[in-house]
Each structure stands twice: as C-alpha cells, then as structure tokens.
Amino acid sequence: MRFITVFFTLFAIFFTTAVGAKKKAPIIDQDLAMREYMVEITRQIGVTCTHCHNLKNFKDSSKDLWKVGAQHIEVVKGLNRHYLKQLGIEKVDCYMCHRGKPKPNYKEKLALTED
Ligand code: HEC
Ligand code: HEC
C-alpha cells in the first residue's frame, strides 16, 4: 500500500513537471523573439530602449513614443502582410524609412541648393 502511494506521488510530481515544462517553453520563446525584435527595431531607428520604454516595467505603454512605435510596427507588418506578400517582396522594416535615425528625413529634395 505504501509503495503504491509513493509511486503515485512520484508519478504526480513527474507528470506536473513534464506538463509544466511543455507549457512554459513557448512562452519563453515568444519573449526571446520579442526581445530580439526590439533590439532590431532599436538599432534601425538609432535609439535605445528608453526612447519608448520605462525600463522598470516593459509592459508600461504610457509613453507617447511607445504609442508611435506601436503604430509604426503595425504599419510595417501591414505593408508586408497585406500588400507586399503577394508580390513576394515582404521587405519593409524600420530601416527602409528611418535609416538609423529616430526622425527620418523623408522629404524629397526639390532644389539642388537644399542641404
Ligand atoms: C520604437 C519604440 C520602442 C523601442 C525603441 C523599444 N521598444 Fe520594446 N516595445 C515597444 C512596443 C510598441 C511594444 C509592444 C509590442 C507588441 O505588443 O506587439 C514593446 C514591447 C516590448 C516588450 C514586451 C512587453 C510585454 O508586454 O511583455 C519587451 C520585453 C520590450 N519591448 C523590450 C524592449 C527592449 C529590451 C528594448 C531595447 C533593446 C526595446 N523594447 C525597445 C516599443 C519599443
Ligand atoms: C514608411 C516609412 C516608415 C517606416 C517603415 C517606419 N517609420 Fe517610423 N517614422 C516615419 C516618419 C515619416 C516619421 C516622422 C518623422 C517626423 O516627424 O519628422 C516617423 C517617426 C517615428 C517615431 C517618432 C519619432 C519622434 O521622435 O517623434 C517613432 C518612435 C518611429 N517612427 C518608430 C518606428 C519603428 C519602430 C519602425 C519599425 C517597426 C518604424 N518607425 C518604421 C516613417 C516610417
């Protein structure tokens, strides 16, 4: 009887650990992927994380630049997924416009005398 109890306890521990590990893995991957993406966009617009984030809480979305960043992430995803995918050129990223600068100089130069 005691043997059976011990056996079931061990089995229960093993089972919950195994299921727990299985459930947790994708969450860690997502977090890593998010951080890698964040490092990439930060580099492409030439800033640091504090540009958009409160470093004490990365979930805090109250900064104005966080909101602009979120909109631009949507723009990039939208262009790639909805318009460029069928053409086979899903190549839009922050760098395309920003060129490593937080505020891209996007205006067409009309006169040769302009900077
Ligand atoms: C241009 C603004 C911007 C910059 C710069 C930026 N982030 Fe973010 N970050 C965001 C936005 C917007 C989200 C929400 C994205 C989403 O939910 O799809 C986010 C989400 C995150 C999250 C997930 C938070 C959560 O809800 O769990 C982490 C972690 C994070 N950023 C870390 C970083 C780190 C580290 C850096 C610097 C390497 C960085 N970010 C730079 C705008 C920015
Ligand atoms: C289609 C072109 C384009 C793409 C792609 C783009 N941006 Fe922008 N972004 C702009 C323009 C234009 C401005 C406004 C510059 C100004 O106000 O002079 C801007 C401004 C911003 C600002 C506000 C800067 C400030 O100081 O006011 C943030 C933050 C930003 N972009 C983040 C991003 C991120 C992150 C990505 C990639 C996920 C991205 N952008 C992709 C064109 C783009």
51-85 pLDDT, tens digit per residue, is 999 999 999 999 999 999 999 999 999 999 999 99
Distance 45 CA to ligand 2 centre (A): 8
Q: Which residue blocks in 45-99 are alpha helix, DSSP H? A: 64-78, 94-98
* Rounded CA separation 111/80 (Å): 33
Centre of ligand 2 to C-alpha 101, Å, is: 9
Q: Looking at the predicted structure, is the pLDDT value of residue 17 above 90?
A: no
Whether the Cβ atoms of residue 114 and residue 62 lie closer than 8 Å to each other: no
CA distance 77 to 91: 10
Q: Domains, the chain, ranges and CATH?
A: 46-105 (1.10.468.10)
pLDDT tens profile 25-39: 677 788 999 999 999
Its pTM stands at 0.84
- The answer, yes or no, to whether any atom of ligand 1 lies below 6 A from the CB of 47, is yes
